[in-house]
């Protein structure tokens, strides 16, 4: 009720500070005006200030439960914190950094979009710390590492950590086989890094409990709170006569910034098109410039072009990172009124949304569970902007459930993947886990160290590949023993093994090994993102529209080229080297090609700069004026010192580059 009353703060002005005293009484210190508090309340107010921390020139004060966690961490304690989205968990991290107490900070986030947002937020500390987000960056004396779990596992320069932070820690739970092994990798990162960490801080929303004994094992306190700083109301909308008509009737009346949650990228694209064909928007010169750039950079018939002109944006895991960031930025600035998104935005990216519309109560093919619903709900409202957020649902919300998180690297149940167990030291394995690993540990095809190096690829699948190579003899060896860049026959051979042995089923738009090889070849031969999109539209018989081609190109670049293919190539490379060495046959080396694929056949710095909000198309135009080939740090320095009067960029591209440089 106090938060609701904040919407009418001026009404309480005649009460001589009585309302501010009530704000203080319920622990909402950030909302109180200290000049209207009595001496006793002012003392309490000052007690909730973090040490030496200002934000945008203003001193910060914590609410009651924020201050409790902050003081505990400052005193050397560790926490697993479950708190609502509006709690301000990240602000505690900022205050800890401002204290100067910590030299090495490691923050694990689930997505590269969150790397970008976190890096931008922490750029205010760049005079005290080096912010490291990319594998090619070298450490300094004082560092903040902001990494995904994959990047954290691969860092070999992390010897001692003052504070390890894992954001959205509920992702430790392995909820299904189709997460690409990312939950197992996050468990691996926790297991590896907590051994060298003085403190840990795991944070996430709406978790009821953690495995028994976890707190004792990792010397941390589990704290669960429902303390909110905004109110979130849920409104049920009758979806008759049709879901589409009910949705359009609703959003026409929502003038404030509105997130529209969709179950999948495909549904998000349909909703974007639905909104753009309806008169819900307005004319804006900035959005017109963005729309023109999207047409030129990707495809003129992509429906996002028309949507942007209507004030409709999109954000999901397949959209290029710089473009996704741009959509969020325009939404927070009030240019985009409706931002259509999937769970990729719900998982931690902060927005200025007053309203959230849940278009359909599903996540991919499953019904929305209570935990995910609460996470989506938490995106409505924002401190000091929208005290009361509204959530509109067209399907009945899920029933309340207790959300208990499993942490497989600790519990080691029968569902814990073998690929995770091989990363665990023998002393930390349960007796049941040792029994499960015995067939893998005692087989003769591949060394245990090699199975461990191919992190989180099932050891049994790796052993099957080794057997296939032996059985294939010299005929298969001739196709696999290549170095540098593969010929077409070589590429078909490795893609066939990758798909048949590692992938084993159609996923992320790829249905076979030959199709994987074809897409890789088309990507290599394309001279731009737009030409890759056009080649898919022209040559793929399953793709009929420009939207379909854009979607297929983004999906392949993000899920296959930038992640899955390099990972599988690295694993296959190690296996073929070992097997063919024991057979006395020539060996290949796939490392050069794997690096080329991971960087979309561009200079590594160009693809890395996209994580900094600089689109690939912009970096390519500036290629001759950037320092490339000497690592990301030097490339960033060249961007920071770049004169923008060279004439290569449009006015809009120049503005994008200027925005990126503010956080470099």
The pLDDT score that the predictor gives to residue 404 is 86
With 0-12 CB in 10 A as exposed, 13-18 as middle and 19+ as buried, what is 344?
A: buried
The pair of three-digit structure tokens given for residue 648, joined into one six-digit string:
């290569």
* 502-530 pLDDT per residue, tens: 999 999 999 999 999 999 999 999 999 99
Residue 80 phi, psi dihedral angles, 5° rounding: -110, 110
pLDDT in tens, 48-107: 999 889 887 788 999 999 999 999 999 999 999 999 988 999 899 999 999 999 999 999
Greatest alpha-carbon pair distance for the chain in Å reads: 90
Torsion sign across C-alpha atoms 383, 386, 387, 392:
negative
The single-letter DSSP state of residue 48 is T
pLDDT of residue 644: 84
* Cα–Cα dist 295/275, whole Å: 18
Rounded (10°) angle between helices 513-525 and 591-598:
70
Whether 230 contacts 388, CB under 8 Å: yes
What are the CA-CA distances from residue 486 to residues 443, 483, 493, 501, 596 (Å)?
31, 7, 10, 20, 11
d(CA 534, CA 540): 10
Give the contacts of 88 (CB within 8 A, at least 6 positions apart): 62, 63, 66, 229, 383
Quick check: 579 pLDDT over 60? Answer: yes
**pLDDT score, position 535:** 95
Question: How confident is the model at residue 13, as a pLDDT?
Answer: 87
User: Which token pair is 101?
Assistant: 């107490």
Question: Burial letters for 144-161: b for 16+ Cβ neighbours within 10 Å, e otherwise?
Answer: bbbbbbbbbbebeebeeb
pLDDT at 10 over 70: yes
pLDDT at residue 175 tops 90: no
Q: Which pair of structure tokens corresponds to residue 27?
A: 């622990």
What is the number of other CB atoms lying within 10 angstroms of the CB of residue 84? 20
Cis peptide upstream of residue 524 (ω within 30 degrees of 0): no
Q: Give the containing element (helix H, strand E) for 462.
A: helix 459-480
Q: Give pLDDT tens digits for 145-162.
A: 999 999 999 999 999 999
pLDDT of residue 180: 67
Give the mean model confidence (pLDDT) for residues 234-247. 95
Structure tokens at 295: 């047409």
- State mean pLDDT over 170-196: 87
Domain 231-393 sits in CATH at: 3.40.50.300
Task: Quote the Cα angle for 338-332-395, to 5°.
Answer: 40
DSSP state of 12: G
- DSSP H or E stretch at residue 446: none
Q: Which of 7-16, 269-278, 344-353 is the least confident region?
A: 344-353
- Please say whether the beta carbons of 355 and 388 come within 8 A: no
Mean pLDDT of all residues belonging to the chain: 93
Range in 91-105, 110-124, 556-570 the model is least confident about: 110-124
Question: In which band, very low, low, confident or very high, does the pLDDT at 179 lie, cut at 50, 70 and 90?
Answer: low
Q: How confident is the model at residue 227 (pLDDT cuts 50, 70, 90)?
A: very high
pLDDT interval class at 176 (50, 70, 90): low
Identify the band that residue 130 occupies on the pLDDT scale cut at 50, 70 and 90: very high
Helix ranges (H only) for 481-512 are 488-497
Percentage of the chain modeled with pLDDT above 70: 99
**Residue 177 predicted with pLDDT over 60:** no
DSSP letters, 552-603, are HHHHIIIIIIIIIHHHHHHHHHHHHHHHHHHTT----B-HHHHHHHHTTTS-
Cα(288)–Cα(282) distance, integer angstroms:
10
Spatial contact of 147 and 186, defined as CB atoms under 8 Å apart: no
Indicate the fold that domain 48-224 takes in CATH.
Answer: Rossmann fold (3.40.50)
Q: Convert the pLDDT of each residue in 348-406 to its tens digit.
A: 678 889 999 999 999 988 999 888 888 899 889 888 788 999 999 999 998 877 678 99
The residues pairing with 54 across neighbouring beta strands, listed in sequence order, are 59
Q: How far apart are CA 640 and CA 480, in angstroms?
A: 43
Per-residue confidence band for 281, with pLDDT thresholds at 50, 70 and 90? low
Using DSSP's 3-state secondary structure scheme, residue 365 falls into coil
Torsion of CA 141, 145, 151, 153, to 10 degrees: 70
Count of residues for the chain? 664
**CA dihedral of residues 77, 78, 80, 81 (deg, nearest 10):** 40
Mean pLDDT across 5-19: 90
* Cβ-based neighbours of 188, under 8 Å, separated by 6 or more: 149, 153, 409, 420, 423, 455, 456
Taking the whole predicted model, whether its pTM rises above 0.85 is answered as: yes
Report strand pairing: 258-261 vs 355-358: parallel
Encode pLDDT of 298-340 as tens digits: 999 999 999 999 999 999 988 998 999 999 999 999 999 999 9
């Amino acid at each position: 009720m106090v938060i609701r009353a904040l919407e009418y703060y001026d009404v309480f002005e005649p009460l001589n500070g009585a309302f501010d005293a009530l704000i203080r009484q319920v622990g909402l210190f950030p909302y109180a005006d200290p000049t209207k508090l009595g001496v006793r309340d002012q003392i309490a107010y000052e007690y909730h200030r973090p040490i030496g921390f200002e934000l945008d020139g203003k001193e910060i004060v914590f609410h009651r439960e924020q201050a409790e966690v902050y003081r505990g961490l400052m005193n050397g304690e560790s926490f697993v914190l479950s708190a609502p989205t509006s709690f301000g968990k990240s602000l505690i991290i900022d205050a800890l950094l401002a204290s100067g107490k910590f030299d090495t900070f490691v923050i694990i986030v689930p997505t590269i979009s969150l790397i970008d947002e976190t890096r931008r937020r922490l750029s205010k500390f760049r005079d005290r710390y080096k912010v490291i987000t990319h594998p090619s960056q070298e450490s300094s004396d004082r560092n903040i590492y902001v990494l995904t779990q994959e990047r954290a596992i691969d860092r070999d320069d992390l010897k001692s950590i003052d504070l390890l932070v894992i954001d959205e820690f509920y992702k430790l739970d392995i909820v299904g086989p189709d997460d690409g092994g990312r939950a197992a990798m996050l468990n691996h990162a926790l297991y590896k890094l907590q051994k060298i960490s003085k403190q840990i801080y795991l944070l996430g929303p709406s978790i009821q409990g953690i495995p028994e004994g976890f707190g004792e094992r990792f010397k941390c306190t589990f704290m669960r709170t429902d303390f909110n700083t905004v109110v979130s109301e849920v409104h049920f909308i009758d979806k008759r006569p049709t879901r589409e008509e009910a949705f359009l009737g609703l959003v026409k009346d929502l003038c404030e910034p509105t997130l529209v949650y969709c179950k999948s990228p495909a549904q998000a694209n349909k909703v974007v098109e639905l909104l753009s064909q309806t008169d819900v928007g307005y004319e804006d010169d900035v959005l017109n410039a963005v729309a023109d750039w999207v047409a030129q950079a990707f495809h003129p018939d992509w429906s996002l072009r028309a949507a942007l002109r209507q004030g409709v944006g999109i954000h999901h895991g397949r959209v290029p990172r710089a473009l996704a960031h741009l959509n969020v930025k325009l939404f927070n600035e009030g240019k985009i009124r409706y931002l259509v998104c999937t769970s990729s935005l719900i998982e931690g990216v902060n927005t200025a949304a007053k309203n959230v519309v849940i278009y359909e109560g599903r996540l991919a093919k499953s019904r929305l569970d209570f935990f995910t619903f609460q996470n989506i709900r938490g995106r409505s409202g924002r401190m000091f902007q929208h005290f009361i957020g509204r959530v509109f649902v067209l399907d009945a919300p899920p029933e309340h459930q207790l959300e208990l998180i499993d942490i497989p690297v600790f519990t080691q149940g029968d569902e814990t993947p073998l690929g995770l167990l091989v990363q665990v030291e023998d002393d930390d394995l349960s007796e049941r886990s040792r029994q499960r690993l015995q067939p893998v540990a005692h087989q003769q095809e591949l060394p245990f160290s090699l199975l461990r190096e191919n992190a989180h690829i099932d050891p049994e699948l790796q052993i099957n590949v080794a057997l296939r190579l032996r059985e294939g003899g010299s005929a298969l060896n001739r196709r696999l023993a290549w170095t540098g860049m593969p010929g077409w026959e070589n590429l078909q051979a490795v893609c066939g093994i990758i798909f048949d042995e590692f992938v084993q089923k159609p996923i992320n738009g790829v249905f076979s090994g030959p199709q994987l090889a074809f897409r890789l070849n088309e990507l290599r031969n394309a001279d731009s993102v737009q030409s890759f999109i056009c080649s898919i539209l022209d040559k793929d018989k399953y793709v009929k529209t420009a939207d379909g081609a854009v979607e297929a190109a983004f999906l392949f670049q993000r899920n296959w080229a930038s992640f899955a293919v390099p990972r599988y190539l690295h694993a296959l490379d190690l296996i073929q080297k070992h097997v063919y060495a024991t057979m006395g046959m020539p060996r290949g080396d796939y490392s050069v090609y794997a690096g080329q694929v991971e960087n979309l056949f561009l200079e590594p710095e160009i693809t890395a700069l996209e994580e900094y909000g600089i689109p690939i198309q912009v970096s390519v135009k500036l290629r001759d004026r950037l320092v490339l080939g000497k690592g990301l740090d030097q490339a960033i320095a060249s961007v920071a010192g770049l004169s923008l009067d060279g004439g290569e960029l449009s006015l809009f591209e120049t503005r994008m580059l200027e925005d990126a440089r503010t956080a470099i």
